[in-house]
Structure 1
Amino acid sequence: MTNRIRRHRRGLTAVALAVVATLALAGCANDSFAEQYAADAEQGYVAGDGSWEVFTPGERAQPVAYEGESESGDTVTSADYAGEVVVMNFWYAACPPCRVEAKDLEQVNQDFADQGVNFLGVNVYDQAPTAESFNKEFGITYPSILDVESASVRLAFSDNVPPQAIPSTLVIDQNGSVAAVIRGVADPSVLTEMINTVLEEQAA
């Protein structure tokens, strides 16, 4: 990993999203995307699947505080995850690419369940019954903050998640700062690399 920030932005079109959804539903694995990430390739954009950014510890912004209510009615705050890594996914139930990535996100969640990594959704549109129905359909076990009324969590992370970038997935380090972001469908191999990088920082 180099010390420069890798920024790659490109707007997603409806056609691109359709292609991504078709490929993902067909079970296509973007192994070359993960290889690009690991090899520090200059290109982070693949097949209309959004963009990603990685921030080294010295380049990260200040920790972000947030609070909201989950679909189960529990209050969730950034303080709940103090000293642990958080993977935060912005989504809503009727979003096609959100549905494409849901099972992959849950699998990565399970892969890191015993390593101090917490997954947390931020639902930007739905009420509790819809969110709970989505969780049941896709086997999601981690909570989501329902952010539709206040948009406070989305506002807190607006520098990393612009309004049109749903889904987006953030990797938040143990200090509460954003270490990486994927805008668009999260490739599980790339997300895994990002999480491992942050975990290795703590071990160093």
Structure 2
Amino acid sequence: MTHSRASRAALLTALVAAGALTLSACGDGGTSGGGGDTNFVTGTGGVETVPKGERRSPEKLAGETLHGEQLDVADLKGKVVVLNLWGSWCGPCRAEARHFAAVAEETEAQGVAFVGINTRDPKKQKAINFEKDYGIEYPSLYDPIGKLIVNAFPKGTLNPQAIPTTIVLDREGKIAARSLKALDDKGLRKMIDPVIAEK
């Protein structure tokens, strides 16, 4: 009986770990994990948004950055936060990286903070080289197996489901918008400018 429980526990643990890795690598889109009862609105360009009064905050989104510093996204409350899920091995991530670096610099004075979430890079150095190559100066949380991502975004929210994914948090730290594809500077501004303009 004890052996059977241990086997079931091991199987459950394996299934949870497998679920953490189901983010489709370099995908172009999909639906959220929330089912049909959500109030997400899909706009042009595949950006999904949530009306202001119906937004939810991610769970704890904190950890070590690629450069070994501690970062807690909750400390950025009061700013519009752009979260970008990326990997150095991902072609669409490379395509959007320079746009993100430029828009991060352009919008800093407007109270916007960018935070990367690097995933599936087993060695930090490749990810650090990626940041250097593309001029990315904002911090990236290091999440090599996707544990942080799975734990931070509850079911029924605009959670990451592809790499790259971009999620915008409003000034209250709530999930306002999500894109499941690579973005250029215009697409990124179209996604974040309405959140910047909110009062």
Query: TM-score, structure 1 length as denominator?
Result: 0.70
Task: Tell me which amino acid in the other structure corresponds to 2:194.
Answer: T
Q: 1:60 to 1:132 in 2, by over 3 A?
A: same
The one of 117, 133, 140 aligned to 1:137: 133
Q: Does 1:183 align with 2:191?
A: no
How much is the aligned-residue C-alpha RMSD, in angstroms? 2.5
Deviation of 1:63 after TM superposition, in Å, equals 4.9
Q: 1:138 to 1:201 in 2, by over 3 A?
A: same
The one of 34, 37, 53 aligned to 1:58: 53
Deviation of 1:154 after TM superposition, in Å, equals 4.0
SS of the counterpart of 1:87? strand
SS of the counterpart of 1:114? helix
Structure 2 unaligned runs (5+)? 1-23, 29-41
SS of the counterpart of 1:112? helix
Task: Tell me which amino acid in the other structure corresponds to 1:156.
Answer: A
**Paired position in structure 2 for 1:102:** 97
Q: Which deviations, in whole Å up to 9, do the C-alpha atoms of 1:144-201 show, x marking residues without a partner?
A: 00011562234312643344x1100011111111111010112321321222211211
Identify which of structures 1 and 2 has the higher relative contact order when contacts are C-alpha pairs closer than 8 Å and 6+ apart.
Answer: 2
2-structure distance, mates of 1:176, 1:64:
10
Q: Which deviations, in whole Å up to 9, do the C-alpha atoms of 1:2-42 show, x marking residues without a partner?
A: xxxxxxxxxx999x97xxxxxxxxxxxxxxxxxxxxxxxx8
SS of the counterpart of 2:151? helix
Q: 1:183 to 1:174 in 2, by over 3 A?
A: same
Structure 1 unaligned runs (5+)? 1-11, 18-41, 46-50
- Tell me which stretches of 4 or more aligned residues in structure 1 moved more than 4 Å: none
The one of 167, 172, 181 aligned to 1:170: 167
Residues 82, 174 of structure 1: 8 Å contact kept: yes
* Percent identity between the two aligned chains: 36
2-structure distance, mates of 1:137, 1:81:
26
Q: Which deviations, in whole Å up to 9, do the C-alpha atoms of 1:70-102 show, x marking residues without a partner?
A: 011001102320211100000000100000000
2-structure distance, mates of 1:63, 1:161:
9
**Paired position in structure 2 for 1:39:** none
Q: Does 1:193 align with 2:181?
A: no
Q: Does 1:72 align with 2:70?
A: no
| Higher radius of gyration, 1 or 2 | 2
2-structure distance, mates of 1:176, 1:88:
11
1-structure distance, mates of 2:25, 2:148:
27
Deviation of 1:136 after TM superposition, in Å, equals 1.0
User: How many residues in Structure 1 have an aligned counterpart in Structure 2?
Assistant: 161
Task: Tell me which amino acid in the other structure corresponds to 1:114.
Answer: A
Task: Tell me which amino acid in the other structure corresponds to 1:65.
Answer: K
